[in-house]
């Protein structure tokens, strides 16, 4: 992960990831450029996941105090799919 990506907020990384997906879905990139965009997209996705993991930890700490390891895992109701 580049320093640039490591410094991005969740919103910045997610916006850049959306742009990478759009560029790849257009099908107009030469192979080498598509691979570079894909590689950057994967780094952006990892950064977004880090932000989400940190947010989940904070929520668990607020809900369960200083022992988030004892908190039950987040779960969606059986009739509802995760939004991702």
Predicted confidence at residue 36, as pLDDT, reads 98
Residue ranges covered by each domain of the chain: 3-70
* pLDDT tens-digit series, residues 15-28: 999 999 999 999 99
Helix (H) or strand (E) holding 78: none
39 by DSSP, 3-state: which? helix
What pTM value is reported for the model? 0.74
- Pair of tokens at residue 25: 């879905």
- Pair of tokens at residue 48: 């977004």
Q: What is the CATH number of domain 3-70?
A: 1.10.287
């Amino acid at each position: 992960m580049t320093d640039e990506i490591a410094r991005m907020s969740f919103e910045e990384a997610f916006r850049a990831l959306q742009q990478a997906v759009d560029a790849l879905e257009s099908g107009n990139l030469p192979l080498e450029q598509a691979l570079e965009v894909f590689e950057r997209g994967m780094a952006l996705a990892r950064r977004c996941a880090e932000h989400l993991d940190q947010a989940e930890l904070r929520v668990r700490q607020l809900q369960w105090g200083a022992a988030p390891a004892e908190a039950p895992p987040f779960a969606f109701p059986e009739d509802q799919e995760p939004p991702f």
